Structure 1
Amino acid sequence: MALPRTTLEQWVVLQTVIEQGSYAQAAQVLNRSQSSVSYALSGLQERLGLSLLEIHGRKAVLTEQGRALLVQASPLITAFLQLEHRAAGLKDGVRTELSLVVDSVFPKNRLFRALKAFQQQFPDTRVHLTEILRGESIAQLNERSADLYITTLAPENAIHGRFLLDVDFVPVAKSDHALLQLPVPLTAQDLARFPLISVADRHLPRTDNHSSGTIANWTFTTVGAAMEAIAVGVGYGWLPLETVQSALDNGQLSRLALSARTVRQTALYMALDNESERFDQTVSALAKSILTECGLLP
C-alpha cells in the first residue's frame, strides 16, 4: 500500500487559511510563522500538481479545484481530530460504552434530556439503553448486567438504589369515550363495563377475564402502546401523568373522575453496578445527569 503524498497537516493549514481569509490570520490561529503556512500550502499544491488557492486583494480564496478537494478533506480532518480526542479520553479512563436499564414508566422527557447532557460531556461514549417492563423481578434484572439501573427494585449485583421520583399514574380515556358521558364520580361498576388498558407488570399474575364473564382487559408491554390504544378508544387506563400531559392539554385524552383514589404512584430508584471497575467518571456523569433531571441535584 502506497503512503499518501500529502499530509493531514497540510490540509488543516489549507482549511484554516480559507476560514481565516489570509495567510497571516491562519498563522496566528495555528501559532506558526506566516512563512511556514506558505511553505505547507506550496508543498500541498506541488504534490497534487494543482492550484488550490488564489489571492484576491488581501483575501485567499479557493480555486474550483481547491473547493472540490477541500469539501472531501474536511470530514477527514474532523474524523482525525475526533480520533485523537477519543484516544485522550481512553487515556484518562473514559468509557467507550455504557449500558443503562430503564423501567418503561420513567418519564421519557427526563430520560432523553439527561442523555443529551451526558452526550455533551462525553460525546465519544455510546449508551446502550434497554427498556424493561414495570416490576421485573430481581432475577430478571440480574440477567441484564447493566452499569446503571432505573427500576422499582435494585438488582442483587448493584448498590442499594437511591430514590429518584414517584411516577404519578392517572386514569384517562379518549375524550369522547362513553365513560365520560356517565355521571361522576365513576364507580367500579361503571369501569367494569369497559376494557382496562394496562402496562404489563411482572409482579401481578394475569387473570382470565372471560371466565368471570367480565369485559376482557388488554395488556401492553410499553407505555406508548397502551397510550395509543387508549387514544383510539379501545378502553381506559392508568398512565404516567408526565407521559399523557400533552394529550390532556390538547384534549385528545381526558382524566376520569373516580369515586376511589384518582392518582396511583410507583417509586423508581437508581442503582449502580457494584463491580469496582465500573466506578468511573463516565458512569458517575451519567448518574449525575439523571439525578439532575429528577431535581435531586442543582
Structure 2
Amino acid sequence: MKTTLEQWRMFRAVVEHGGYAQAADAIYKSQSTISYGVHKLQEQLGVQLLEVEGRKAFLTPEGKTLLMRAERLLDQAESIDRVAASLSGGTESLLRVARDMVYPCEQLFCALEKFSRSYPHTRIELEEFVLSGGNDLLDADKVDLLITAQVPTDRQGQHIYRCEFIPVTSVNHPLQTLNRRVSYDDLIEHRQVVLRDSGKKRNVDSGWLGANQRWTVTHVSTSVNIVKRGLAFAWLPSHWVEQDIAAGNLAVIPFEEEATRYADLYLIKAHPDSVGPAAQALYELLSSKEEFSCPNDATKAKPLAMDGSAE
C-alpha cells in the first residue's frame, strides 16, 4: 500500500472542516503535520485531490471520487476498533440514549431503573427529539440506542411501542359547542398547535396540517399547555393527556369519524456489530414485551402489538 489510514483521515478532515487550520483543531494535530500528510498523499497517488483558494481547500473531481471510497474504508476501520473494544469485555462507562418525545417517559425510566441495578456505574446521556431529529444523531454518531418512528432505510429497528394520538381541545373550546359531530372542514378556521421537527437536515410533516392558523412548538408539554388554555386544538399522545381528560381539563374532539392516529416506535442499535454488555442489557429491557414493576408508577404505559391491540 502506498498510503495509510491516517493520511486519509487527515484528508477527510481538511475537506469536512474547510481547511488545514480548521482540520488541525478538529483532529488535534499540528497544521504542518496535516499539510505534509495530505501533500504526501497526493504525491504518492499521483493525483491532485485538493485545490486551495485563499484560506480554504476544495475537492477536485478526482478527490471527490477517492474521498467516497476512503470514507467507507475509515468507517470500517473505526468499526473494527469498536468491535475490539467490545470484545475486550469491559463494561461501557457511558451510554447515549435518544428517544422520540412521544415515547412514554415512564416506560423509559422504568427500564433505566432496572438497568441501573445491574450497571450502577454506567452513566446515561439522554437526548430527546421530534420526528427526524434522531436520524441526525445517528449520522453524527452521537447515540448508542435510539427510539424513533423514522427508521433510516439502511437500519433495522425493533418495534417496541405504538403511540396513540388523540384530537383534543379545552372543554370550552368552540369545537366542543357545535352541538353536532365535528368534521375536518370545521377545523380549518381554528388554530392548531404542532410539533416542530428537530432534525436539521430534514423537515418532516406528520398528521393533519390543514388549519389556516398554526402555532409550532418544540415540546409536547408546551402543546398541552396551549391546548388547556383554549388557544388551539391538537393531536396529542394519549399518555400525555389522559389524566387531564379524566380531570375535565381537556376534552376529545367529537369527530363524525374515527380520528385517532398512531405512530409505531422502533429501537435501533447505532452499532449493532459492536454492542457492549451494558448497551445490550438496556436494549433487551426496552424491547421486552414483558412488563416490569416500577416503584410509585401509577400510570405505567403498556406496549402495544403491531395491530394496535394491547398485549
Task: Give the TM-score normalised by structure 2.
Answer: 0.58
Which position in structure 1 is the counterpart of 2:250?
Answer: 253
Which among 105, 116, 119 is matched to residue 116 of structure 2? 119
Which position in structure 2 is the counterpart of 1:193?
Answer: 189
Tell me the SS of whatever aligns to 1:154: coil
Q: What CA deviation, in whole Å up to 9, does each residue of 1:239-281 have, x standing for no partner?
A: 011111111111111111112332111111101022533x122
Q: Which structure 2 residues correspond to residues 58-207 of structure 1 after superposition, within 5 A?
A: 93-136=90-133, 138=135, 141-155=138-152, 159-201=155-197, 202-204=203-205
Tell me the SS of whatever aligns to 2:286: helix
Tell me the SS of whatever aligns to 1:290: helix
Task: Point out where structure 2 has 5 or more consecutive residues left out of the alignment.
Answer: 1-87, 198-202, 292-301, 305-310
Question: Could you tell me how far apart the structure 2 residues matched to 1:198 and 1:182 are?
Answer: 23
1:199–1:219 Cα contact (<8 Å) kept: yes
1:102–1:149 Cα contact (<8 Å) kept: yes
Kindly tell me the number of residue pairs found equivalent between the two proteins: 200
Which position in structure 2 is the counterpart of 1:262?
Answer: 259
Tell me the SS of whatever aligns to 1:94: coil
Deviates more, 1:195-204 or 1:97-106: 195-204
1:108–1:243 Cα contact (<8 Å) kept: no
Question: Could you tell me how far apart the structure 2 residues matched to 1:254 and 1:127 are?
Answer: 37
Which among 279, 282, 290 is matched to residue 278 of structure 2? 282
1:194–1:235 Cα contact (<8 Å) kept: yes
**Could you say which structure has the higher helix fraction?**
1
Question: Could you tell me how far apart the structure 1 residues matched to 2:270 and 2:225 are?
Answer: 34
Larger radius of gyration: 1
Question: Could you tell me how far apart the structure 1 residues matched to 2:141 and 2:99 are?
Answer: 11
Question: Could you tell me how far apart the structure 2 residues matched to 1:151 and 1:218 are?
Answer: 24
Tell me the SS of whatever aligns to 1:183: coil
Task: Point out where structure 1 has 5 or more consecutive residues left out of the alignment.
Answer: 1-90
2:99–2:134 Cα contact (<8 Å) kept: no
Task: Give the TM-score normalised by structure 1.
Answer: 0.60
Question: Could you tell me how far apart the structure 1 residues matched to 2:273 and 2:284 are?
Answer: 18
Question: Could you tell me how far apart the structure 1 residues matched to 2:264 and 2:159 are?
Answer: 7
Tell me the SS of whatever aligns to 2:126: strand
Root mean square deviation, CA, Å: 2.8
- Identity percentage of aligned residues: 25
Tell me the SS of whatever aligns to 2:181: coil
How big is the shift at 1:145? 3.0
One-letter code of the match for 1:258?
F
Which among 237, 242, 256 is matched to residue 239 of structure 2? 242
One-letter code of the match for 2:273?
S
Tell me the SS of whatever aligns to 1:234: coil
- Residues 275 and 165 (structure 1 numbering): CA distance in 2 closer, same or farther, change over 3 Å? closer
2:95–2:125 Cα contact (<8 Å) kept: yes
